[in-house]
Chain A
């Protein structure tokens, strides 16, 4: 241990990393990290509490309430922590020491640190704005990288949802769509571009995602979802995003996802209006609790008949991405049991309550009695399709 003189001639106690570790192991010591949040998220000392220099005067009393207690400070190389020690002594702290050489010296001596495990150096950099959020952190980012999300439709809603989920680091993104890119899609389907007209949408989306984020494994399902494949496809994923453009697929998806216990984030858009909800089987209502029967054809026009404002796809698609991330990381309040309506002309959101239907044929009391042999067996939804 050495005493150094600061410019105000105040003696600051400096201790070596080994001395600091010994004190920490014997307990009764407060450890303060005097670096910036992005440095802390990459590597820090066990038990170290982050108090960046700029907010030290305001925040140190929370981190170290006892001014007579022992407080150890460290930073990257020992300079900022010495300055902080001096500042704390001026604030009346009596027993403060700075770790000489900082965390660099600590690591050089092979002493233990907490590293952002599971993320590569590139990933720590790429996702730093996520890992800085205490609600997400490194653990939340790792959950995203391990998540498998299926997007039903690589069109209006699927395009923005896929782009942002890919940027966010959702590790596996499945895209199911049998369509090809058409020039009339490009007003809203921003994952495609003019050169890709005629290309399968799943391929075009994969190319864009791969250029955006090489971490992402994109799985192309270049066919239509139907009763023969729905169980097999859904089984491979953790969360399903429903951006389908027709009722048969929406009901099919609902029935299969309830049976498999997979959450579905469901949105739809038409003209200047959108709606979105999150269906988590048995935790909240399912799609059939909300809409037990599909409407007749004249009440169920499609975007190709009625038109849709391009930005509606982005707005509702990103609300879907937001729901997916909350489900994957396990934070916030997903839209379970709530239907959110958005009217873009008035710029108004309306929230409605949706309740479980006690008589729902799919998630009601009889659902558990459906034998396994009927899994994947669905009525012919095309009979009541408006398309």
Chain B
């Protein structure tokens, strides 16, 4: 099972979990495994057309999937997917 790191702003939707295990052969499958287990994350990650929202960055290990093969990027059980939304807190 691959690991998905959940950012603080999405943890309400994962019952407080900061890391979720997921099954899938691609980054897209892993994310859909997450949205099946925690349906409230879906609208945060994907637009109505099923595309990744532009304000969410998805990394496979340390690389942005947009410079890889997007949601089709192959993933293995030893990989970590990082969901990275922008944060603005400074105070």
Which positions in A face B, CB cutoff 8 Å? Answer: 152-153, 155-158, 179, 185, 189, 242-247, 250, 267-273, 275, 290-296, 299-304, 306, 308, 339, 341, 343, 345-346, 350-355, 386
Task: For A350, give its contact among B9, B67, B82 (CB under 8 Å).
Answer: B82
Whether the pair A300, B88 counts as a contact (CB closer than 8 A) is yes
**B67's closest neighbor in chain A, by CB?**
A355
CA of A290 to CA of B90, assembled, Å: 18
Chain B interface size, under 10 / 10 to 19 / 20 to 34 / 35 or more = 20 to 34
Which positions in B face A, CB cutoff 8 Å? Answer: 5, 7-10, 18, 44, 54-57, 59, 62-64, 67, 82, 84-91
Task: For B9, give its contact among A152, A189, A299, A354 (CB under 8 Å).
Answer: A299
B contact patch SS: mixed
Chain B residue numbers with a CB within 8 Å of A158 are 90
Whether the pair B88, A386 counts as a contact (CB closer than 8 A) is yes
CA of A153 to CA of B89, assembled, Å: 11
A121 to chain B: closest CB distance in Å? 39
A sample of 10 cross-chain residue pairs with beta-carbon separation below 8 angstroms, ordered by A number, consists of A244-B90, A268-B88, A291-B57, A292-B54, A299-B10, A299-B55, A300-B86, A302-B89, A350-B62, A355-B64
Whether the pair A243, B90 counts as a contact (CB closer than 8 A) is yes
Whether the pair B18, A353 counts as a contact (CB closer than 8 A) is no
Whether the pair B62, A353 counts as a contact (CB closer than 8 A) is yes
Chain A residue numbers with a CB within 8 Å of B64 are 352-355
Chain A residue numbers with a CB within 8 Å of B5 are 350
What 4 A-B pairs come out closest when comparing CB atoms? Answer: A155-B91, A243-B90, A291-B86, A268-B87
CA of A335 to CA of B89, assembled, Å: 19
Chain B residue numbers with a CB within 8 Å of A269 are 87, 89-90
Whether the pair A299, B44 counts as a contact (CB closer than 8 A) is yes
CA of A179 to CA of B90, assembled, Å: 13
Whether the pair B86, A295 counts as a contact (CB closer than 8 A) is yes
Whether the pair A275, B87 counts as a contact (CB closer than 8 A) is yes
